[in-house]
Amino acid sequence: MSKTSSTAWQCNYTNEIDGVKSATTLSQTILDILLSKNKLAYARVDDSLRVVETSCNFQAFFHRAEPLEGTLLPKLCEALIGSESVLREVMQGSLPEYLLEYVNDESGAEARFLTFHVWKNWGDEGGLFLLVEDVSPAARLEQRAVQARNELELLRRELDRANAELHRMALFDALTGLPNRRYLDEQLTRYVETARRTGTPFSLIMLDIDEFKAVNDLYGHLEGDDALRILASVLRTSIRNSDFVARYAGDEFCICLPMTESHQAHALAARIQRNLAEITRPANLRLTISLGIFSVSGQSPQAYTPQALLARADAALYRAKREGKNRICLEEAP
């Protein structure tokens, strides 16, 4: 930088003895500008928290007509009401500074943001110094940034919710609320793999409503939908936590029973029949189901793919239909 580039710099560089004085003059000039533009205001407060000395713009800064000397500091503006104990802490030196950032101020014609600093006056007079800055430009910039960030965050959460809903719709049947065929395929593969790895038995139940077409034809599709919902509810409440029930297609449902021998699967199938009868009896509704079970012992799960298991359970269901419906047929792997 050239020593002769400006008068001010020339003054600082050429008069080293008066360097401090020059800096003080510059500081005073800048302070005068800040005060005249109401960018800041300051006051000195005595031990009783009364204003004893203020910057020349203090009244104008706070949009007040009356002189403010003698006013209690907490009564100067709303931000300081109730702050007596904090101000005392600062005065005692136990709190180095009381700083209130970005206080929204709507007392004047134009809304602004103020930052309050309160420091202990370490001089002989005691008391406190109050400095108030108008930080509106920086605050408005920050407000826009925070607004954008928050809106983005809300949108992201909205997107997460929508994705979760899409995921749910992709894997669950809208009518019954049960997992759908796609979800069943995924889960069945996992169950079969686990049974194969651990050498544990596995059972699969396929079931459907007897004469479901007649229900639809006789009572209408809305009644048919109700029948599906009733059955889904019975299935949901009849199985164990470790089991998995899904709507396979139309009125067909499928239940995966990990670590379950054939006789246990049969007992569950019978329980489902009983529970369904109990639920439908009060409504005088005759709703029966046929069930086909295919069970694989712990010794032979490796011989069956998910598709093969489904085919064998379906064959058992078909046999139950053929033998008169409203019954349970069991097939066991050798």
Partner 1 sequence: MPPPSSEISLTTIQKKVCLLGEFAVGKTSLVRRFVEGRFDDRYLSTIGVKISRKSVELPHGRINLLLWDLAGSDEFNGQIRANYLRGAAGALIVCDLTRPETLTGFHRYVEQIQTVGLSIPVVFVGNKVDLTDLRAISDDQLQAAAQQFGGQAFLTSAKTGHNVEDIFYRLAVQLHQRD
Geometric angle at alpha carbon 307, from 305 and 311, rounded to 5°: 115
Nearer to partner 1, 18 or 101 (CB): 101
CB–CB of 208/289 below 8 Å?
yes
Number of chain positions touching partner 1 (CB under 8 A): 28
Binding piece for partner 1, criterion CB under 8 A, among 73-81, 219-227, 280-288, 292-300: 73-81
Could you please report the per-residue DSSP string of 265-294? HHHHHHHHHHHHHHHHGGGT----EEEEEE
Residue 119 lies near partner 1 (rule: CB under 8 A):
no
Cα–Cα distances in angstroms (integers) from residue 27 to residues 24, 46, 204, 251, in the given order: 5, 25, 87, 87
CB–CB of 59/68 below 8 Å?
yes
Could you please report the per-residue DSSP string of 65-76? -S--TT-BGGGT
Nearer to partner 1, 159 or 311 (CB): 159
| Chosen residue from 100, 131, 285, 315 binding partner 1 by CB under 8 A | 100
Work out how close the CB of 45 gets to partner 1 at its nearest, in angstroms, rounded to a whole number. 16
Nearer to partner 1, 56 or 155 (CB): 155
Amino acid present at 15: N
Binding piece for partner 1, criterion CB under 8 A, among 6-14, 95-103, 251-259, 270-278: 95-103
Closest CA to 114 of 141, 130, 134: 134
Nearer to partner 1, 152 or 303 (CB): 152
Question: What track of x and - describes contact with partner 1 for positions 136 through 175 (by CB under 8 A)?
Answer: ---x--xx--xx-xxx-xx--x------------------
CA distance 326 to 329: 10
Residue 180, phi-psi category: left (phi > 0), alpha (psi -120 to 50), beta (remainder): beta
Residue 98 lies near partner 1 (rule: CB under 8 A):
yes
Residue 18 lies near partner 1 (rule: CB under 8 A):
no
Work out how close the CB of 285 gets to partner 1 at its nearest, in angstroms, rounded to a whole number. 32
Residues of the shown chain interacting with partner 1 in the complex, contacts defined by CB under 8 A: 75, 78-79, 81-86, 98-104, 113, 139, 142-143, 146-147, 149-151, 153-154, 157
